A and B are shown apart, each in its own frame.
Chain A
Amino acid sequence: MRLLRILFRLAWRNLWRNHRRTIIMLGAIGVGVWAMIFMTALTRGMVDQMIVDSIGVLPGHVQVHHPDYQDDPSISNRMLISADDISERLDTGAVKAWASRVRVPAIITSERESRGVTLLGVDPEAEREISFFDYDEVDGRFLTDVNDKGIVIGKKLAKTLETEVGKRVVLMSQDPDNEIADRGFRVVGLYTAKTKAVEEAYAYVGRRTAQTMLRIGDATSEVVFLGDDYRNVDPIYDVAVSAVGEGLSIRPWYDIDTYLGAMLGVMDGFVLVWVVVIFLALSFGLVNTLVMAVFERVREIGLMLALGMKPGSILGQIVIESMLLITFGLAIGNALAWATVVPLESGIDVSIVGDGMEMWGMSSMLYPKLYVSDMVLASSVVLLLGFLASLSPAWRASRYEPVEAITKV
């Protein structure tokens, strides 16, 4: 303990022997650690947003379908369970919102253009919590109930079809007997989504209206459940199983969109690689600083060895010096990261590269997310690798022959 005290004292005072070099190194470590955490926060935020947006479009954390629906999302693969049946059995404890829908591929035709869309027959009230757009921001109006005879489409689709609120369009799909099922609808509203692709993809009609058009009675294509946290879907999954029973396909979002699910796993690996890459750049400076510090103190180290200090203590002294430097650098880096990320958590407008972001399924606002686990990871990696990097100069210092070192000019 007494030996450790003198080692700490020597390490600390030696650290401040060359103020300028130490401050520059502290700055380098601080900025490096800040970059590790800031970029990680930015990337975490991007992926989070991507997942949240994607789940918002799917939407839901857990979905229930006919077992063959994913391979063939036609009306043939519908579920005979009605919304009323689910409502009776549902324990809403862990569920923030749920909705039962008709969801089939269809063709929408205006007097000028035709497009393939996904027809969503929805219960407007049930969808309110799940929807990726605010009903109040719809141009015109959103659907009022399941029997609403109007249609709500995206602004981009309206532009493509060269139609507008008040005009009529025709929806065409197939009924269970593979006969054409079609119907004319008046456009009552135009919604805005975060990406143009989404605005072109979905057409909303009342669920009962869709069921009547498709001649499927009370049957639906999809039931979705939404919880509070996309990372914790197990409770929702259990609720879904008890609500819809056996024989149906019940899947969490990451099974439905495997790309997004994989993104979460890839993110952790990416963060680690990013942290290690930045450290490697930093380590050159760190090792150089330590080598210089040792080189300048050869005679002093020789003196300590001559006086009876063990080589292990010399090694310990240099490693402690390195760890002190790194610890202060980490404190600076973490504080900088916190001070810069927290004010930006309300969003960074990157609309200047909005088109590029859209290609990746992201909106033009970035919301950096500062996770304590990422700060701990970056700090642990820097401490561990810093320790390893300091071993080489420390080892060299401890191997000096006292007689040679003490007479070194």
Chain B
Amino acid sequence: MSAVRCVDLCKTYRQGDQDIKALDHVSIEIDKGGFVCLSAPSGGGKTTLLNAIGGLDIPDSGEVYVDGQRIDNLSKGDLADLRLRQIGFVFQAYNLIPVLTAQENVEFVMQVQGVATSERNEKAKEILKEVGLEGLENRRPAEMSGGQQQRVAVARAVASRPALILADEPTANLDSKTSDGLMELFTELNENHSSTFIIASHDQRVMNYAKRLVRMLDGRIVEDIDQRAA
């Protein structure tokens, strides 16, 4: 069974007097354990597609399936539940809750899920160590660098072992060295945890790391490359 399947997705935004087609009859299927990069220039539709897969945005038409479940017709509450239990998110910026420490941020999703204190403490510490932030558990976001913050966000996204991890421009605010470190971390987590990674980015480095590269332009998929074969 595929991790994600999108069928004929359309989404149009109105900007001033203009209608902008963010998604124009997009269909895509992503296998479980996949590591996919959605690449497009700004306004190409990659974030809209990512949001539709994550249940953050509802397409005008078409169908979205996550782990075999159709999600485009779910209620807000059910979508929130889906995001909480099945999807991990890493956003471009403003990824962390400023009043919580690194460990509390990692535990946040698990705490909302209702995971027991000792279990989530243990998991959070373990995953923070895995992403190289051992010893920074009690720091708040303002006391960490951009790269460290993104690592905490990644740790939070994978801590509850979701089947699907969606990342939107995760390297946009990072320098090249930190970006490479983050992508290596993604690759490692993809291999170790068998989670499906879908990353929206126009960063060449990210594209290089992806096993599958999906290029989009004006809301359409124009190229779909299996980079392992290449």
Contact = CB atoms under 8 A, between A and B. Distances in A.
Classify chain A: how many residues form its interface, as a range: 20 to 34
Contact of B112 (A307, A402, A406): A307
B91 A3 contact: no
Interface in A296-337: 299-300, 303-311, 313
B89 interface: yes
A309 B94 contact: no
A311 B111 CA distance: 16
A6 B108 contact: yes
Given A13-B99, A300-B97, A308 B91 contact: no
Contacts of B80: 305, 308-311
Contacts of A309: 80, 84, 112
Nearest to A307: B109
B94 A300 contact: yes
Contacts of B84: 307-309
B97 A2 contact: no
Interface in B106-163: 108-109, 111-117, 156
A306 B89 contact: yes
B228 interface: no
B99 A299 contact: no
A308 B95 contact: no
Contact of B94 (A307, A308, A310, A406): A406
Interface string B41-58: 000000000010010110
Given A300-B94, A307-B89, A2 B117 contact: yes
A313 to B, nearest CB: 7
Contacts of B83: 306-308
Chief secondary structure at chain A's binding surface:
helix
A9 B99 CA distance: 9
A303 B95 contact: yes
Interface in A241-258: none
A10 B111 contact: no
A6 B112 contact: yes
B111 A3 contact: yes
A308 B85 CA distance: 8
A308 B114 contact: no
A311 B76 contact: yes
Interface string A370-409: 0000000000000000000000000000000011001000
Given A300-B94, A309-B80, A309-B84, A2 B114 contact: yes
A299 B94 contact: yes
Interface in A184-200: none
Contacts of B89: 306-307
A303 B99 contact: no
Contacts of A5: 111
Nearest to A16: B99
B71 to A, nearest CB: 13
B77 interface: yes
A20 to B, nearest CB: 17
A317 to B, nearest CB: 11
A6 B109 contact: no
Contacts of B108: 6, 304, 307
Interface in A1-18: 2-3, 5-6, 9-10, 13-14, 17
Contacts of B99: 10, 13-14, 17
- Which of B81, B83, B87, B115: most chain A CB closer than 10 A? B83
Interface of A: 2-3, 5-6, 9-10, 13-14, 17, 299-300, 303-311, 313, 402-403, 406
A-B pairs, top 5 by smallest CB distance, nearest first, are A308-B84, A13-B99, A308-B83, A6-B111, A403-B56
Interface of B: 51, 54, 56-57, 76-77, 80-85, 87, 89, 91, 94-100, 104, 108-109, 111-117, 156
Given A5-B111, A305-B80, 20 more contacts: A3-B111, A6-B112, A9-B100, A10-B97, A10-B100, A13-B99, A17-B98, A300-B97, A303-B95, A306-B56, A307-B84, A307-B109, A307-B112, A308-B80, A308-B83, A308-B85, A308-B113, A309-B80, A309-B84, A403-B56
